[in-house]
């Protein structure tokens, strides 16, 4: 039965109009519709907004978050994607130039030291500023989300002039000038990489030049460069040189490389599916190491890391275990004529590793 809202007369459910006052009787469907229209829409809109915002956040995070940018950068290094690297690397220090030459220098470094990719990835995941690269937020993306970029560490190149009127250049582009012999200058900062650096100078009124492949990376932010053939020429012509500046080539007296103590520990074996280009620390022959570079290495690893510095020079080991281990590495080339001469950083690294064994 339907009750008339005007005169309160009772009517049947089928009637549309009241039998007494002829007023229109609303249907059950109309009442439900009217009730629905009276329902507040704010909660529904709020739920919809929260849902859209949540989906958008995770979509942006999966594509542009810290983890995503790290993965993109590592992939670009492995695949040598220059365009991607140029877009991702945004230096905090505006003096660091990111161009074709610096990116090529970085890719050359990675190509010669593939294990550095894992080092870079580890530093980025740990969000530390101590590595060659770190990750930082620069501005906003879409006005709300942080825009993450890769920040390169800046390396200063330190050079002491051996002659007069010294010009230094990278790819024939002048990077600096030193007027007098024995003067020292700093250049940079530069992103990590291997740079072809040429020195042109004058010794006894004769113009001489040398080009080196400068390894610019590692824990130390200042890299000392040395041009050995020019240094030798200067020495032969009685021009004084600074023997305290670290050099790229061997310059220390011969010494007995490996102790004669019998080591009973089992040498770490490389799994069968690994390549024969394994290094414990691939860059130990290029830069000064510190304790952070040796973090997490076992005593067996440390022993191998120390001896692989000798192995790079072709040292012929007396230990059968070391002969078998390094003999399985494709890069090891035994050289019985090796006289024990090493660079200062190699000698430093050997002593550092030995102190932790």
Count: domains in the chain: 4
Assigned domain for 320 exists: yes
Residues 335, 264, single domain; the answer is yes
Residues 261, 159, single domain; the answer is no
Q: Specify the pLDDT at position 108.
A: 93
Assigned domain for 244 exists: no
> Considering 190, 206, 236, which residue would you say is the last residue of a domain?
236
Q: Specify the pLDDT at position 168.
A: 93
pTM here is: 0.56
The Cβ-side half-sphere exposure at 96, using a 13 Å CA radius, reads 23
Average pLDDT score over residue span 116-122 = 87
> Considering 236, 267, 300, which residue would you say is the last residue of a domain?
236
Residue partners of 106: CB distance under 8 A and separation at least 6: 77, 85, 191, 192, 193
Confidence band for 287, pLDDT divided at 50, 70 and 90:
confident
Residues 290, 347, single domain; the answer is yes
Vertex 191 angle, CA 186 and 193, to 5°: 100
Residues 180, 132, single domain; the answer is no
Assigned domain for 314 exists: yes
Look up the domain containing 14 and give its range: 2-38
Residues 56, 99, single domain; the answer is yes
CA distance readout (Å), 297 to 199, 242, 260, 353: 39, 36, 23, 10
Residues 163, 263, single domain; the answer is no
Assigned domain for 241 exists: no
Assigned domain for 242 exists: no
Assigned domain for 276 exists: yes
> Considering 236, 263, 282, which residue would you say is the last residue of a domain?
236
């Amino acid at each position: 039965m339907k009750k008339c809202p005007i005169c309160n007369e009772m009517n049947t459910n089928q009637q549309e109009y009241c039998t007494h006052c002829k007023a229109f009787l609303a249907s059950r469907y109309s009442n439900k519709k009217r009730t629905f229209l009276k329902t507040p829409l704010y909660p529904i809109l709020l739920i919809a907004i929260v849902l859209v915002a949540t989906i958008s956040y995770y979509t942006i995070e999966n594509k542009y978050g810290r983890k995503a940018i790290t993965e993109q950068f590592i992939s670009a290094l492995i695949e040598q994607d220059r365009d991607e690297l140029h877009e991702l690397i945004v230096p905090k220090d505006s003096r660091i130039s990111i161009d074709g030459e610096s990116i090529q220098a970085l890719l050359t470094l990675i190509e010669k030291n593939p294990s550095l990719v894992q080092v870079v990835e580890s530093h980025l995941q740990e969000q530390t500023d101590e590595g060659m690269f770190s990750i930082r937020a620069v501005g906003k993306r879409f006005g709300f989300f942080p825009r993450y970029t890769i920040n390169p560490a800046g390396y200063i190149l330190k050079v002491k002039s051996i002659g007069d009127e010294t010009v230094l250049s990278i790819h024939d582009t002048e990077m600096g000038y030193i007027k007098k012999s024995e003067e020292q200058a700093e250049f940079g900062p530069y992103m990590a990489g291997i740079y072809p650096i040429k020195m042109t100078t004058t010794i006894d009124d004769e113009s001489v030049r040398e080009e080196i492949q400068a390894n610019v990376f590692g824990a130390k932010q200042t890299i000392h460069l040395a041009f050995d053939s020019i240094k030798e020429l200067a020495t032969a012509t009685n021009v004084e040189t600074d023997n305290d500046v670290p050099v790229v080539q061997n310059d220390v007296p011969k010494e007995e490389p490996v102790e004669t103590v019998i080591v009973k520990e089992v040498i770490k074996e490389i799994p069968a599916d690994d390549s024969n280009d394994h290094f414990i620390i691939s860059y130990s022959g290029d830069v000064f190491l510190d304790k952070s570079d040796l973090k997490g290495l076992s005593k067996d690893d440390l022993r191998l890391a120390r001896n692989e510095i000798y192995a790079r020079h072709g040292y012929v080991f007396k230990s059968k275990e070391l002969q078998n281990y390094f003999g399985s590495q494709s890069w090891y080339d035994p050289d019985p004529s090796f006289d024990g001469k090493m660079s200062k950083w190699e000698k430093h690294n050997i002593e550092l590793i030995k102190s932790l064994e």
